[in-house]
Structure 1
């Protein structure tokens, strides 16, 4: 390690100590930002210490990263990760430079499982070479930052090109990921829970992105659709079809707002989090575990750990209210959250919070493509709105036919708003910075104690 790299690492570790141990503040971005400023090549100095797993895609990165970390730990690996969502280069640098490294109990190299922002895959892989890429999905998201989904896809592929020896573990149900734009070894995961006798000839709903054949740009058909552009697709004009799967969900047993029960390759599994979309995250983690030699029994045990994941369906008790925090940031992600809320059997209140900062995406027009109208068929009994752009989400929900009971532009009012809810159960949907603001208030008042 060069003198400059040593100075960068010392600075990162010192600032991390002051932030975490002296000031009792979270976050890994500042230590990493200082280190990268001192030595832009500092990541090269730590690359050899880990087998690196990069997790990227539009939705599901944080939960997939958390589940992979649990699975590999269950398999006897020492693992570090960036659990608070610091998924840009400075946050990743902070994680790698400040997290203590323990030898793996199984004697193998420690693993760094890193959530990486789609636009930052290239800058990261120029510095360090992953052993595995994990691709979750691609949907329209933050057009001001990423552009349309084929532009986002190219940003990811440009990063993969920097690491041709890496294996790409990818969602085979996503047509865009089955394109032949890179030569890396691939492992595909997806759903195979529909019997061939029940196959249909379907098209994705209107306004769905990423449903074109890469050869002649014809609209793909599906034998079945799980949600959005995901499913068992095929072209009627050329030979493009979903590739054979290496791991698959073979059965869906039960879905509730708090848990999902399913089978992977015939093995019964469960995760303590609701929503069909989250089964994809578990399937990705299972595939990574299998690649690292973790046996299915240990993977099952890792999935069943009842541990909260930062900002992703966190469940809290606020007085006599059961609060669930749900991150939303784009139409598809919001629709899958709506799918999950439709499985709720008890009356509930919705608090919709909208911000439009850089990390959220400054364009809020996406809320008009989210299908809030479907909540009329759920147990939803009351709606409140908040956040810096509370007027926008209020108008959207009013246009969806809901009577807004209360609005609160100041996040400090969130606890009072929750306690005013007329139902025992409250679902709070929030964009990223709104979620951080809510968590900060809840932590200050003692409702959140766990550090991530």
Structure 2
């Protein structure tokens, strides 16, 4: 190891220790310091690791967590970035923070921001890319979905021998012919495919055939642009799936049971979108030699992760903290809420900082009108753009008298204790989620961030 790299590694580790033992936080600053000293320190830190990059618009954090839990069943210690700090400096910090433990194979599973795939790939040389989906998200940062995919492709093309494990139900992932080995996963639910000829709603992104620009149709559409697609005008269709879910047995806000092959799997989290995340993790686990029983055992152990249906107990309330950041993800969370059987209170926190996307118009694409309003007994609206969300909910048909406006996190926390229901769902954008968690940690309601 070069002297510059040694100094960068030592300084980064020291800053991480200070931040986490003295100041109680910091997920990317140690990486920034190390990269200032040695811009290529990631290459040194990751040199002897087999690296899996997980990227896409939605589901990166949960997919990464499920992959890590699965691989630990067979290989023991696995390095990862659990806080969701997924840009280059956050990934460097993950390596600096990791303490090597017993492992039969050195593996790093890393969530990577779509726009950072090329930067990270240049230094890590991953053996595997995992692609979840691509939806319209933060237009000011990513642009249209095709621009986002180009950013990912720029990284994949640097490693033509790396295996690509992609969501086969997303037509964009088979639109470019890559030399890489490929594994596709998706849904194969029971249906008469010869009869089904479905079309996505008119405002759905990513449903143009990449060969002839005709509108894609579906034998079965799971949600948004995901499903068993085909072009009625040419021969473009969903690729052959290696792994698939063939039955959804049970869904609730806090539990999923589904079948792959002849085996049933359980995860302690809700939402159809999380079945895709589990399926991606299953495909990676099988690629790395795990058995179905080992994967099932890992899935059954899965824990709530940072801000992704994270469960918080406070003031005799069961609070689900859920990140929302784009129309497709929001709609899937709203569908999840409609599987709730009990009355609940709803909290919405809307910010518009750079990390959230500065344009909040996406909340108008979310189908708040479809919520079962009779179950929602109280609403708290907060965040920097509380007025935008309050107006959106009013237009969706919610009574303004049912809403309480909170302009600070402390106000939100105080109002949580007064809510009339035991169950509470908080839907929050990224920086509002971080801010609320910090305020809760300061009050010892939860532990400080990762």
TM-score, scaled to structure 2: 0.97
Q: How far off its partner does 1:265 sit?
A: 2.1
Q: 2:171 aligns with which of 165, 169, 175?
A: 175
Query: C-alpha distance in 2, partners of 1:307/1:34?
Result: 31
- Do the aligned partners of 2:57 and 2:137 also contact (CA within 8 Å) in 1? yes
Match of 2:6 in 1: 6
Q: How far off its partner does 1:295 sit?
A: 0.9
1:411 is aligned to 2:409: yes
- Which digits, 9 at most, give the CA deviation of each residue in 1:129-156, with x for residues without a partner? 1011000000000000000100000000
- Do the aligned partners of 1:29 and 1:86 also contact (CA within 8 Å) in 2? yes
Where do residues 134-145 of structure 1 align in structure 2 (5 Å cutoff)? 134-145=130-141
Where do residues 209-220 of structure 1 align in structure 2 (5 Å cutoff)? 209-220=205-216
Query: C-alpha distance in 2, partners of 1:323/1:124?
Result: 35
Match of 2:393 in 1: 397
Match of 2:180 in 1: 184
Distance 1:198 1:424, change over 3 A: farther
Q: How far off its partner does 1:163 sit?
A: 1.1
Q: How far off its partner does 1:28 sit?
A: 2.4
Secondary structure class of the residue paired with 1:307: coil
Distance 1:378 1:306, change over 3 A: farther
Match of 1:421 in 2: 419
Q: How far off its partner does 1:383 sit?
A: 1.9
Match of 1:133 in 2: 129
Q: 2:437 aligns with which of 436, 439, 451?
A: 439
Q: How far off its partner does 1:232 sit?
A: 0.3
Query: C-alpha distance in 1, partners of 2:255/2:378?
Result: 24
- Which digits, 9 at most, give the CA deviation of each residue in 1:286-318, with x for residues without a partner? 000000001111111111115221111011222
Distance 1:450 1:443, change over 3 A: closer
Query: C-alpha distance in 2, partners of 1:376/1:28?
Result: 38
- Do the aligned partners of 2:161 and 2:179 also contact (CA within 8 Å) in 1? no
1:159 is aligned to 2:155: yes
Where do residues 225-374 of structure 1 align in structure 2 (5 Å cutoff)? 225-374=221-370
Q: How far off its partner does 1:354 sit?
A: 0.2
Q: Identify the range of structure 1 (438-447 vs 347-356) with the bigger mean alpha-carbon deviation.
A: 438-447
1:19 is aligned to 2:19: yes
Q: How far off its partner does 1:161 sit?
A: 0.6
Distance 1:68 1:450, change over 3 A: farther
Query: C-alpha distance in 1, partners of 2:348/2:385?
Result: 10
Query: C-alpha distance in 2, partners of 1:75/1:168?
Result: 22
Match of 1:55 in 2: 54
Q: 1:384 aligns with which of 380, 385, 401?
A: 380
Query: C-alpha distance in 1, partners of 2:221/2:292?
Result: 27
Q: Which runs of 5+ in 1 are unaligned?
A: none
Q: Identify the range of structure 1 (66-75 vs 415-424) with the bigger mean alpha-carbon deviation.
A: 415-424
Q: How far off its partner does 1:99 sit?
A: 1.1
- Do the aligned partners of 1:341 and 1:378 also contact (CA within 8 Å) in 2? no
1:86 is aligned to 2:85: yes
Query: C-alpha distance in 2, partners of 1:199/1:100?
Result: 55
- Do the aligned partners of 1:260 and 1:272 also contact (CA within 8 Å) in 2? yes
Query: C-alpha distance in 2, partners of 1:47/1:13?
Result: 15
Query: C-alpha distance in 1, partners of 2:415/2:431?
Result: 19
Q: 2:202 aligns with which of 190, 206, 211?
A: 206
Distance 1:75 1:450, change over 3 A: farther
Q: How far off its partner does 1:41 sit?
A: 1.1
Query: C-alpha distance in 1, partners of 2:194/2:276?
Result: 21
Q: How far off its partner does 1:384 sit?
A: 1.8
Match of 2:145 in 1: 149
Q: How far off its partner does 1:100 sit?
A: 1.6
- Do the aligned partners of 1:157 and 1:182 also contact (CA within 8 Å) in 2? no
Query: C-alpha distance in 2, partners of 1:60/1:301?
Result: 21
- Which digits, 9 at most, give the CA deviation of each residue in 1:53-78, with x for residues without a partner? 00000000000000000000012242
Query: C-alpha distance in 2, partners of 1:409/1:450?
Result: 22
Q: How far off its partner does 1:48 sit?
A: 2.2
Quote the RMSD (CA, aligned, Å): 1.4
Query: C-alpha distance in 2, partners of 1:127/1:19?
Result: 26
Q: How far off its partner does 1:97 sit?
A: 2.7
Secondary structure class of the residue paired with 2:199: coil
Secondary structure class of the residue paired with 2:352: coil
